[in-house]
Amino acid sequence: MLKLTGLHISYGKISAVKGIDLEVAPGEIVTLIGSNGAGKTSILKSISGIIPAVSGSILFEGREIKNMKAYEVTALGIIHVPEGRGIFPNLTAMENLEMGGYLKKNAFVRDKIDEVFQLFPRLKERRKQRAGTFSGGEQQMLAIGRGLVADPRMMLLDEPSLGLAPIIVQNIFNIIRQLNEEKKITILLVEQNANLALRVSRRGYILETGSMVKDGLSSSLMNDDGVRKAYLGG
Amino acid sequence: MDGVIILEILQQLANGLALGSAYALIALGYTMVYGIIQLINFAHGEFFMIGAYAGVLAIKAGLPLYAAFPAAITAGALISAGVEKIAYKPLRKKNSGRLAALITAIGISIFLQNVIFLIPGADLIGLGTKNPMGIEKYVFGSVEISGTKVYIFLISIILMIIFIYIVHFTKSGKAMRAVSADRDTAMLMGIDPDRIISFTFALGGALAGAAGLLFALDQNQVSNFMGLMPGLKAFIAAVIGGIGSIPRAMAGGLILGLMETLAVVLGFSQFKDAFAFIFLIIILILKPAGIFAMARKEKV
């Protein structure tokens, strides 16, 4: 479904991502693991068109999307839920959800928002409040919910566990699994929490300072000595 | 004697509110544009002037007032969005920075003020007796208030209500707020920021155009430099309110209008322009983020 080949990303003269390959098949949850600054977020941003790739290719269903604008990529059904959640703090929860459906028809957006409210009842309670007043967990729910309103075929989730209490993280990860199984959304998940990410995903990639060092089935990565030492706390 | 004083106060209050609400209309354009691309658009006063010309020419051509306003609004919106497309957008695409854009804005301002001279006699056009607002007076008991001031105030309020409706309840208005909060994330929603920026300029220009016609009706004339002072005053209004915020820009406009009128009442009518700038300097020294930022801080 998504295929990155030889992807290079740089900020000025500093290269952040040095020619990586990555593939996601339809229906999969694939995780991209790496420590802070490894280049995970840069990869997601270049897929969604927020930052340009220097070289390499990004194919989505066989189509080159490398030079597309971010709003054109969104129209293809690739929905990026950014790191730090990226909600619009000055808009209400409801308005945030409506923005998720910016490219869709109003009636469709209303139905989708109802679905999101079933998934996250908390958002329905707080729908008229400014999103800036939300707790971290609520903001993450809102960011994922907003992505769902766009009716994604593929979701790029950037660190959904960041800064959240363990019980909320568990809840978010259950939802991610549910979206994949019930709504058939293909997911590329970027995480620092390797333990959780490998448990929820089918396959994983390990990124270190801009290069892929390992990839494989998540179950085998979890038993890999190197991965265990570096990312799973021994 | 008492009656005269009350009459004077009410008349001045009407003057202050009329002036202030017109400033508020212009200030909204400054504050919205600043909110979305962090540019102080010094050409904004000229959008006000172009709108005034369009409205006055429509009236001189024999059109009624309700047709002159759409003409002023359309002209303001078109010139504003046009300037954005021709002058500011190319700079933005080249990441040329805020200073270049600011200087460009001043250049556009001077250009638009002077391009009017190309048409002989166009630098000052009087309405004469064609002014549809005339010299009606409203009589409340023993108090008389000039009709024009009341119209200006009422029309400004109606326009602001429509504007608030657009910003809060339409898809483009919501997208505008989203882009001004976070342009990258807005793009991830499928929003094309360039279209929303154009929309913002058009909306701000429309309000400035309407305000221009209101001013012209009040002064009974248009001139090519008429946008300069109201433009600067509205900029002051936006800054004293706290630039970037819509309700604060409106409040800033009203406060400035009332302050200026107060200066006139106190006998400083020669200095009323200086008054506005002194007020700006005081605010910038004491509370650079705007007077309302101070009120907020004290609460916390």
Secondary structure, 3-state, A59-74? EECCEECCCCCHHHHH
A157 and A146 in a common domain = no
Q: What's the whole-model pTM score?
A: 0.91
Note whether A84 contacts B: Cβ–Cβ < 8 A. no
Task: For residue B38, give how far its alpha carbon lies from the nearest alpha carbon of chain A (Å).
Answer: 17
Closest partner residue to B189 (CB to CB) among A69, A74, A90 is: A74
Do A95 and B174 lie within an 8 Å CB cutoff?
A: yes
Reading the block at residue A11, the tokens are 């900020």
Residue at token pair 């002077």: B114
Q: Cβ of A79 and B188 within 8 Å?
A: yes
Q: Which residue has the higher pLDDT, A130 or B245?
A: A130
Q: Which residues of chain B have pLDDT under 70?
A: 1-4, 134-136, 140-144, 293-300
Q: What is the pLDDT of residue A212?
A: 94
Which amino acid belongs to residue B283? Answer: I
Average pLDDT over residues A12-27: 93
d(CA B64, CA A135): 55
- Test B181 with A82 for CB contact under 8 angstroms: no
Residue A25: inside a domain: yes
Please indicate, yes or no, if residue A222 is contained in any of the structural domains.
yes
Is A184 within the bounds of a domain? Answer: no
Is B184–A90 a contact, with Cβ atoms under 8 angstroms apart?
A: no
Instruction: Clarify whether residues A112 and A65 are in a common domain.
Output: no
Please report the pLDDT score of residue B300 as a whole number: 31
Q: Is the pLDDT of residue A164 over 80?
A: yes
Pick B145 or A32 by higher pLDDT.
A32
Residues of chain A in contact with residue B178, where contact means CB-CB under 8 angstroms, are: 88, 91, 99
In a domain? residue A180:
no
Closest CB from A70, A90, A91 relative to B188: A70
Last residue of a domain, one of A152, A182, A203: A152
Cβ neighbours, 10 Å, residue B98? 12
Find which of A69, A72, A76, A99 to mutate to test the B interface (most B CBs within 10 Å of its CB).
A99
Picking from A152, A175, A201, the residue at the C-terminal end of a domain is A152
Closest CA to B49 of B29, B21, B79, B70: B79
- Among B residues 174-203, those touching chain A with beta carbons less than 8 Å apart: 174-175, 177-178, 180-182, 184-192
Which pLDDT value is given to residue B131? 75
- CB burial class (10 A; 0-12, 13-18, 19+) of residue B285? exposed
Are B190 and A102 in contact (CB < 8 Å)? yes
Distance from CA of A23 to the nearest CA of B (A): 22
Domain boundaries, chain B: 2-225
ipTM above 0.85, yes or no: yes
In this complex, is the C-beta atom of A28 within 8 Å of any C-beta atom belonging to chain B?
Answer: no
Q: Which residue of B has its CA nearest to A101?
A: B189
A94 in B contact zone (CB under 8 Å): no
Beta-carbon separation of B185 and A86 below 8 A:
yes
- Note whether A46 and A60 are same-domain residues: yes
Residues A117-137 as b/e (b if ≥16 CB within 10 A, e otherwise) read: bebbebbeebbeebbeebeeb
Non-local CB neighbours of A46 within 8 Å, separated by 6+ positions: A7, A9, A17, A52, A53, A58, A66
Please check whether residue A26 lies inside any domain of the structure: yes
Under 8 Å between Cβ of A141 and A120 = yes
What domain range includes position A221?
Answer: 1-77+153-166+191-234
Residue A18 clears pLDDT 60, i.e. is over it: yes
Q: Which of B177, B181, B191 sits opposite A102 (nearest CB)?
A: B191
**Of A178, A189, A201, the residue nearest A156 (C-alpha):** A189
Contact B188 A80 (CB under 8 A): yes
Using the beta-carbon criterion (under 8 Å), do A102 and B189 form an inter-chain contact?
Answer: yes
My answer on whether A161 and A55 are in the same domain is yes
Would residue A185 count as lying in a domain? no
How much is the average pLDDT of A146-157? 97
Q: Does A48 touch chain B (CB under 8 A)?
A: yes
Distance, CA of A130 to CA of A127 (rounded, Å): 8
A53 inside domain: yes
Distance, CA of A23 to chain centre: 15
Q: What is the DSSP string of B124-166?
A: EEE-GGG-TTTT-EEEETTEEEEHHHHHHHHHHHHHHHHHHHH
- Residues A65 and A90 placed together within one structural domain of the fold: no
For the stretch A73-129, pLDDT in tens is 999 999 999 987 789 999 999 999 999 999 999 999 999 999 999 999 999 999 999
- A115 lies in the same domain as A18: no
Subunit contact B177:A49, Cβ cutoff 8 A: no
CA pair distance B232, A41, nearest whole angstrom: 44
What is the number of structural domains in chain A?
2
Residue of B nearest to A147 (CA): B189
* Distance between CA atoms of residues B201 and B77, nearest Å: 7
- The overall average pLDDT reported for chain A is 94
Mean pLDDT of A20-24: 96
**Residue A174 falls within a domain, yes or no?**
no
pLDDT given for residue B299 in this prediction: 35
- Residue A74 near chain B (CB below 8 Å): yes
What residues of B are in contact with residue A103 (Cβ under 8 Å)? 189-190
Q: Report the pLDDT value the prediction gives residue A113, as an integer from 0 to 100.
A: 97
Residue A173 has pLDDT above 90, yes or no: yes
Integer-rounded Cα radius of gyration of chain B? 19
CATH number of the domain that residue A12 is part of: 3.40.50.300
Q: A74 vs B188: CB contact, 8 Å cut-off?
A: yes
